[in-house]
Structure 1
Amino acid sequence: MNSASLVNSGEPIARFQQTLKASASVSGRGYWSGKEVTVRFEPAAEDTGVVFVREDVEGAPQIPAQVDYRVEVPRRTNLVYQGATVEMVEHVLAALAGLQVDNCYVHVNSAEMPGMDGSAKDYVEQILTVGIETQTAPRAVLAISEVVRVGDDECWVEARPSGSKRMKFKYRLDFGNEGMIGRETLEGKISPEYFQNELAPARTFLLLQEAEWLRQQGLGTHVDFSELLVFGPEGPIDNELRFEDECVRHKVLDLVGDLALAGCDIQGTIIANRSGHRLNAELVKQLLKENQVAYLSRRTA
């Protein structure tokens, strides 16, 4: 990540880095593997970033949460570094990024993160229980100075300049006129309060035919339909919506987690149309190539 003076975007607004006040943990089963896993969040020094630690592997290898270490797999975000892997990390990353926890060691005893109820709610609750500590170093900022877009005409995500101190977003979800999901749009501004209340409880969703296909492949056979949102012809099966537009809210949750792989705050507006993990990561790569990351010595509230 390179430091650079920003051009044509004004000076970005810095905040102080943050970590946890104490250790917090969450346990559950992985959706894909079915294995029990405990995630333990530990405080970390300034400029550490988010680092996963595989306690179950000899030498406890560390895996930095950076976009360069992302590997392409369907429906989730996995990281591989020097042969060590962590899987389905997007909800963990979203919880940390959404609450502005910048420096954290994430200790795990299995490769896949627990699916919980398909949301980031449990992670957020445990982090807030132990509290967040402000550190003295400024947080790195990536201020969008020109439009950057990845994808095609049907599925795309782009970043635009914005005068806001926080990241703004607009996400369009489109499942067509048929079925129970249809079209949903959500826009807003990311803050810890907004993330906690409006995004963290939104759960993973899929269509019944997708769930049946996955089970035929031997995947997720242990997952009950009450553990996530599975949409049949009449709506969610064995479940109820937490928000009328819960599906698009979860897509924004995933977006927050994927953008966290930039390793810095993003100041600008992110607009997405049917985007997923792959395109979200491609946007991060393109933004970092623009050499727009700056470390500032001041903070403005």
Structure 2
Amino acid sequence: MHYQITLAREVFCEGVGLHSGKPATVKILPAPENTGIVFIRTDLTDRPRIEAVAENVTTTLRATTISKGNIRIFTIEHLLSALHVYGVDNCYIEVNGEEPPVQDGCSAYFFAVLQKAGKKIQNKFRKEVVIDKIYRIDDGERFIIALPYDKFRISFTSLNEHPLIGTQYADFIVTEDVYAKDIAPARTIAYEKEIKHLQDMGLGLGGSLENVIVYNDAGWINKLRFNDELVRHKILDVIGDLRLTGGIVKGHFIAVKSGHQLNTELAKEIRQGGC
């Protein structure tokens, strides 16, 4: 048994939102036992709260969005990913708009900020999300499976028709050290031909070569951090989306071409399964 954990002190982040393109600030604060992860919209007068759990997911187009009524917060997966691996059970996340800052398109910045804040051990035991049976979410082309396992492991296969990318596979037993070195620095990705269409849809308005890896038919426009950076970022996203189970997860997750929709459906299925 492990005790619940919150942050030892509050921390602050600022930047622009990846999709909104608007200035964004986030304050992450300690919270009492059994609070979970709760987002708070500080730009609204009644400061509405949205708990980061799978049943509050409303949209998964290019990002994970949680909502309460007509109040939403989107692109939460990178921050949730860092919180998940750092082992934070309880915190408040105050956001001054609909989207946290993207920083440099990964979760390394958030993870470093959390490490700077430090951990505070609380007085109640953690309710771990332990996978004790097989779960599978499948749409005929893509799937994600959860299997019992005594650690937190993710095996991901990414299939991309572009010859520059092709098939990428990565498999990690996720620990704080592995995450900081091999997963957290992996950035989000975009195909140059898609960018205008995305922006016409109101997406990617805060994207730049500072926070997105962009490729075209000739090659990579910016320098990669890893040869397989795409699949590592996919794993980063899975870790964030699985935090929507409501706790720190233990199990082996095997995915092929999975994205936010399947990831969050799996998180919801696990919650309904009583793990």
Shorter-chain TM band: over 0.9
Q: Do the aligned partners of 2:17 and 2:206 also contact (CA within 8 Å) in 1?
A: no
In structure 2, relative to structure 1, the CA distance for the partners of 1:15 and 1:74 (3 Å cut) is: same
Q: Which of 216, 219, 224 does residue 241 from structure 1 map onto?
A: 224
What residue number does 2:117 align with? 130
* Unaligned segments of structure 2, at least 5 residues: none
Q: How far off is 1:216 after superposition?
A: 4.1
Q: Which of 261, 267, 271 does residue 288 from structure 1 map onto?
A: 271
Amino acid paired to 1:31: L
1:222 and 1:82 map into 2 onto residues whose CA distance is 26
Equivalent residues in 2 for 1:171-182, closer than 5 Å = 171-176=156-161, 178-182=162-166
* Unaligned segments of structure 1, at least 5 residues: 1-13, 293-301
2:198 and 2:111 map into 1 onto residues whose CA distance is 28
1:185 and 1:279 map into 2 onto residues whose CA distance is 18
1:261 and 1:38 map into 2 onto residues whose CA distance is 22
1:255 and 1:277 map into 2 onto residues whose CA distance is 8
Q: Do the aligned partners of 1:99 and 1:196 also contact (CA within 8 Å) in 2?
A: no
2:123 and 2:36 map into 1 onto residues whose CA distance is 14
SS of the aligned residue for 2:210 comes to: helix
What residue number does 1:94 align with? 81
Q: Do the aligned partners of 1:98 and 1:196 also contact (CA within 8 Å) in 2?
A: no
Q: How far off is 1:218 after superposition?
A: 5.1
Amino acid paired to 2:264: A
Amino acid paired to 2:233: H
The answer to whether 1:265 aligns with 2:248 is: yes
The answer to whether 1:253 aligns with 2:236 is: yes
Per-residue Cα deviation, 1:70-106 (whole angstroms, up to 9, x for no partner): 1024110011124321111111111111111111100
Q: How far off is 1:225 after superposition?
A: 2.7
Q: How far off is 1:215 after superposition?
A: 3.1
Amino acid paired to 1:267: K
What residue number does 2:167 align with? 183
What residue number does 2:213 align with? 229
The answer to whether 1:167 aligns with 2:139 is: no
What residue number does 2:98 align with? 111
Q: How far off is 1:46 after superposition?
A: 1.1
1:158 and 1:32 map into 2 onto residues whose CA distance is 29
1:39 and 1:195 map into 2 onto residues whose CA distance is 22
Q: Do the aligned partners of 2:78 and 2:106 also contact (CA within 8 Å) in 1?
A: yes
In structure 2, relative to structure 1, the CA distance for the partners of 1:88 and 1:24 (3 Å cut) is: same
Please, which moves more after superposition, 18-27 or 124-133?
A: 124-133
Per-residue Cα deviation, 1:120-179 (whole angstroms, up to 9, x for no partner): 1111111111211222222112222221101133200011122x2x21110000103x33
Q: State the identity %.
A: 33
Give the root-mean-square deviation of aligned CA atoms.
1.5
In structure 2, relative to structure 1, the CA distance for the partners of 1:30 and 1:184 (3 Å cut) is: same
Q: Which consecutive aligned stretches of 4+ in structure 1 deviate over 4 angstroms post-superposition?
A: none
1:244 and 1:44 map into 2 onto residues whose CA distance is 39
1:222 and 1:39 map into 2 onto residues whose CA distance is 16
Q: How far off is 1:222 after superposition?
A: 4.9
Equivalent residues in 2 for 1:37-116, closer than 5 Å = 37-116=24-103
In structure 2, relative to structure 1, the CA distance for the partners of 1:124 and 1:150 (3 Å cut) is: same
Q: How far off is 1:199 after superposition?
A: 1.1
Compute the TM-score of the two structures, normalised by the length of structure 1: 0.87
Amino acid paired to 1:74: L
Equivalent residues in 2 for 1:131-170, closer than 5 Å = 131-162=118-149, 164=150, 166-170=151-155
2:270 and 2:36 map into 1 onto residues whose CA distance is 18
Compute the TM-score of the two structures, normalised by the length of structure 2: 0.95
Q: How far off is 1:210 after superposition?
A: 1.7
SS of the aligned residue for 1:236 comes to: coil
SS of the aligned residue for 2:100 comes to: coil
SS of the aligned residue for 1:284 comes to: helix
Amino acid paired to 1:180: L
